[in-house]
Structure 1
Amino acid sequence: MALADISRVEIEKAIEECDRLGRDAFLTAYGFRRARRYVLVHGGGQYDSKAIVGAAHGFLPGERPLAPDTPGFSGGAKHAARLLRRLGFDVVEDPGASDPPHDEPTHDGLTHDDLIHRVTHLKVNRSAGRPALYKPIVLLWAMGRALRGEPRLLPWSETEEALKALLERHGTRGERPRPDYPIASLHHEGLWELRDFTGPVTTAHGDAGVKRWFSAHQPRGGLVEPLHELFRHSAVTRLAVLDDLLDTFFEDLDPAPLLADVGLEDSDPAAPRPVVARAPEQWLLTAAEYERGCRLVEEKEARTRGRRRARTTLGPVRSRAARYLVLARSQGRCENPDCTGQPADVTDRNHPILEVDHVIGLAQGGRDHPSQMVALCPNCHAVKTRGRTREALRDVLLRVARERHEAGGGRGAEERPARRNETRSWGGQWQGEQHERS
């Protein structure tokens, strides 16, 4: 940690990124919550002091953004606020803020990483050796609601009605239409919030007693807020969790009907959904989120390497999250440094025409990881696949993939000139550049 090396330049870059992403998306991307006491006032806007300093640290050469729980890093008078004031920024105290401090865990002692780990390592009952689908179905339903920006908490009657229908249609392993079981279990695992009742929450064991508790107390409930916000704003987290749930629990099933019912059928990372009220061309991916996404991809890779899908064909297990990271990293441009003709046209969703390629095929031992994957225009993809120069091009692309991955998703200044409106958010701004290329 090198707080003393941070200058006004890095702070202003972090402020610019916050303005670009929006406050909530910025905080979610870097893993922070709103400031409890110290607020940075700059250019007529208010910013969360610790989050700004943490993000600014990532703009230092060779450094990464600071996490909220970095040892020795606080948002108080001795660290973030003190640094900002020393650099000449206006920091005010806001004792009326109600959110917990940034350096406290996000929920019941759990960090964002803790919450995601609990989702990707769900403990479920097994029938005849196969995992029950109660909790995966509930989580996919809640993820779809978060993606659409729907209210996080619902009355029990609405939750029960929606989940009963899903369990009846998609509970193919003997699951009864009883959402009280998975909801109680998820609550005790720290993933589901229940409100508006008195006394302790029932356990997920037994039968009539569990149903009776929910009928009597009628709690409002939903995903805990930090997890809901991650699913809503972080496409790479959402895709990584979706990958994990589908590969763990639906390996021998076709999940397409369920995904359609919960609103996750459009999970193609080539067409990520924008954050509400942001420009549709922006892929909101910061350096910190790129790092988090790679970590999730690596955890999944360790569990699934060498596995092949049992559905339809015996194709290798592939990561939606890894593909998304590569597309976002590319900023809409072919990653072949010698590309001579990327199409100026765009897709129906106004996205660049790019294809993600595994430089070393998975069947040949390559990794399903951004460090060995590139985004290519159709011309370069064809040359890499069947051109006479494909072997030489593969060596170039392996180097490019490694360098851009090690740079945290960005492109080195030596590889291309600075472009108008470019920031450290690895997505967005490519649309106007299409005209420059053409």
Structure 2
Amino acid sequence: MAMTDITRREVEQAMVECDLLGRDHFLQRYGFRRALRYLVAHDGKLYDSKAIVGAAHGFLPGQRPLTWKQLSGGAKHAARLLTRLDFIVEDSGAATLHEDLIDRISNLRVNRASGQPALYQPITLLWAFGRARRGEARLLSWSAAEDAIKALLERHGMRGERPRPDYPIAALHHAGLWELHGHTGSVPTARGDSKLRRWFAEQHPAGGLPEPVYNLVRHSADTRLTAIDKLLSTFFQGLEYGPLLTDTGLYDDNVADDGLDAGEQDDAWKRSLNVAAQYERWCRIVDHRENENRGRRVTRTSYNPIRSGSARRAVLHRSRGRCENPNCTGQPTDVTDDGQPILEVDHVMDLALGGRDHPSQMVALCPNCHALKTRGSKREELRATLLEVARERHTALRAAEEAE
């Protein structure tokens, strides 16, 4: 029998079993992970669509449950089947996927034998995020991935990591953050040595980030920066990560830009978020990166694209597309090619003169007000006004988030 032989009866039987076992035990029994995106609704409850379809196949006469690998079409095929059977399939969308990705990064199981977290998985994820940001192929042959990750581990294994890409790939696969295709049998766990190496050498699986994760990292600056910041703050404490981020293409002025072409802007998720909550997310990244150098021999204002990019995004979000000079006499009604307001984010106080690379000392200005602040005869008065505006708006938004 094929997956298309499944009827509502088998699906509902699988749902009953899920209710009896509980979600996590049900997923563990059938070897599935929590859904990244598609959930099926029934009787006021939500179920993981792919796991439900896999389990439902086992209720067909003489059939066994389908494993996650056997559902080669992935979540979309399971969702289509459930929709055909008149179930309501909910697309949890980017916001839920964002939170799920950050949660999975936070809970990565890494070796801590040395007392510090090993960097195999974080380095591999940063490499994959860099590829996604540049729009490179999501899936890569094992030989190509092995060569690239091996080179990164050799150059940036700051805690004695060996050049063994099979370790992080297997671990990330079992954590739900890596797809592997073109192999037979189950993927070994990231334990042991010769068995794992031999499996990859024999199977040569193609792999990469799950498609929903790849697309979100590719197109959402919020997810990209939040994921990078979570990796850095969780695993790279006290380490100089700049060269690694440079090598992976994640350490330049454009790292905070959304990877969308003109006409592709989809701001539905951003519009649905509370302004204060979104502002708080950007500011937390800025605060993390600003505080990382305490106790180290670097200047407080040393340039960091992760911090600077996050600060810039926070200010633009705070401005809601309007010049933040309270005395602005008008700003362009036109927009950029990708539909964004024509605003320039500027430091009220120059970094070289003691200013901070922080939203509390930055403003979004229309080109005319930016020129007045830079070259106008009353620029010092304007700077004082803008600094007060920045501080007031910054304090108000963060206070609003705390009150939620």
What is the TM-score of this pair, normalised by structure 2? 0.59
Structure 1 residue 275 corresponds to structure 2 residue 260: yes
Shift of 1:240: 1.8
Matches within 5 A, 1:278-297: 278=262, 286-288=270-272, 293-294=278-279, 296-297=281-282
Gaps of 5+ in 1: 1-31, 37-67, 75-94, 409-438
AA paired with 1:145?
R
Q: Secondary structure at the match of 1:286?
A: helix
Deviation string, structure 1 residues 205-259 (Cα, Å, up to 9, x no partner): 1111211121122222111222111101111111222233234444444433322
Task: Give the equivalent residue in structure 2 for 1:355.
Answer: 345
Return closer, same or farther for 1:327/1:303 CA change in 2, 3 Å cut-off: closer
Task: Give the equivalent residue in structure 1 for 2:185.
Answer: 199
Paired residue for 1:126, among 108, 112, 123?
112
Deviation string, structure 1 residues 9-45 (Cα, Å, up to 9, x no partner): xxxxxxxxxxxxxxxxxxxxxxx96999xxxxxxxxx
Gaps of 5+ in 2: 1-35, 48-77
Structure 1 residue 103 corresponds to structure 2 residue 96: no
Task: Give the equivalent residue in structure 1 for 2:325.
Answer: 336
Return closer, same or farther for 1:258/1:166 CA change in 2, 3 Å cut-off: same
Shift of 1:124: 2.6
- The CA distance in 2 between the partners of 1:99 and 1:337, in whole Å, is 54
Shift of 1:140: 0.9
Task: Give the equivalent residue in structure 1 for 2:66.
Answer: none
Deviation string, structure 1 residues 300-355 (Cα, Å, up to 9, x no partner): 589789654436335599474343132355466531221369899x99x9995723
Deviation string, structure 1 residues 402-424 (Cα, Å, up to 9, x no partner): 6778999xxxxxxxxxxxxxxxx
- The CA distance in 2 between the partners of 1:33 and 1:136, in whole Å, is 23
Q: Which has the higher helix share?
A: 2
Q: Secondary structure at the match of 1:375?
A: strand
- The CA distance in 1 between the partners of 2:374 and 2:111, in whole Å, is 45
Q: Secondary structure at the match of 2:179?
A: strand
Return closer, same or farther for 1:217/1:174 CA change in 2, 3 Å cut-off: same
Return closer, same or farther for 1:160/1:367 CA change in 2, 3 Å cut-off: closer
- The CA distance in 1 between the partners of 2:361 and 2:134, in whole Å, is 32
- The CA distance in 2 between the partners of 1:301 and 1:96, in whole Å, is 39
The question of whether the paired residues in 1 share the 8 Å contact of 2:183 and 2:205 is answered with: yes
The question of whether the paired residues in 2 share the 8 Å contact of 1:204 and 1:210 is answered with: yes
AA paired with 1:189?
A
The question of whether the paired residues in 2 share the 8 Å contact of 1:191 and 1:224 is answered with: yes
Q: Secondary structure at the match of 1:114?
A: helix
Matches within 5 A, 1:163-174: 163-174=149-160
Q: Secondary structure at the match of 1:131?
A: coil
The question of whether the paired residues in 2 share the 8 Å contact of 1:154 and 1:221 is answered with: yes
- The CA distance in 1 between the partners of 2:224 and 2:205, in whole Å, is 26
Q: CA RMSD in A?
A: 5.0
Task: Give the equivalent residue in structure 2 for 1:387.
Answer: 380
Q: State which structure, 1 or 2, has the greater radius of gyration over its C-alpha atoms.
A: 2
The question of whether the paired residues in 2 share the 8 Å contact of 1:184 and 1:201 is answered with: yes
- The CA distance in 1 between the partners of 2:222 and 2:274, in whole Å, is 8
Give the percent of matched residue pairs that are identical in Structure 1 and Structure 2: 45
AA paired with 1:286?
K
Shift of 1:204: 0.9
Q: Which has the higher contact order (CA 8 A, sep 6+)?
A: 1
Matches within 5 A, 1:86-101: 97=80
Shift of 1:269: 5.6
The question of whether the paired residues in 2 share the 8 Å contact of 1:240 and 1:321 is answered with: no
Task: Give the equivalent residue in structure 1 for 2:75.
Answer: none
Structure 1 residue 261 corresponds to structure 2 residue 250: no
- The CA distance in 1 between the partners of 2:346 and 2:103, in whole Å, is 27
Shift of 1:179: 0.7
Task: Give the equivalent residue in structure 2 for 1:375.
Answer: 364
* Count of residues paired in the alignment: 316
Shift of 1:119: 1.7
AA paired with 1:114?
D
- The CA distance in 2 between the partners of 1:98 and 1:356, in whole Å, is 52
What is the TM-score of this pair, normalised by structure 1? 0.55
Q: Secondary structure at the match of 2:208?
A: strand
- The CA distance in 2 between the partners of 1:113 and 1:170, in whole Å, is 28
Matches within 5 A, 1:104-253: 111-126=97-112, 128-253=114-239
- The CA distance in 2 between the partners of 1:342 and 1:225, in whole Å, is 40
Deviation string, structure 1 residues 258-283 (Cα, Å, up to 9, x no partner): 2232222324467x25414x259x79
Deviation string, structure 1 residues 152-196 (Cα, Å, up to 9, x no partner): 222212211211121122223211111111111111111112222
- The CA distance in 1 between the partners of 2:240 and 2:135, in whole Å, is 26
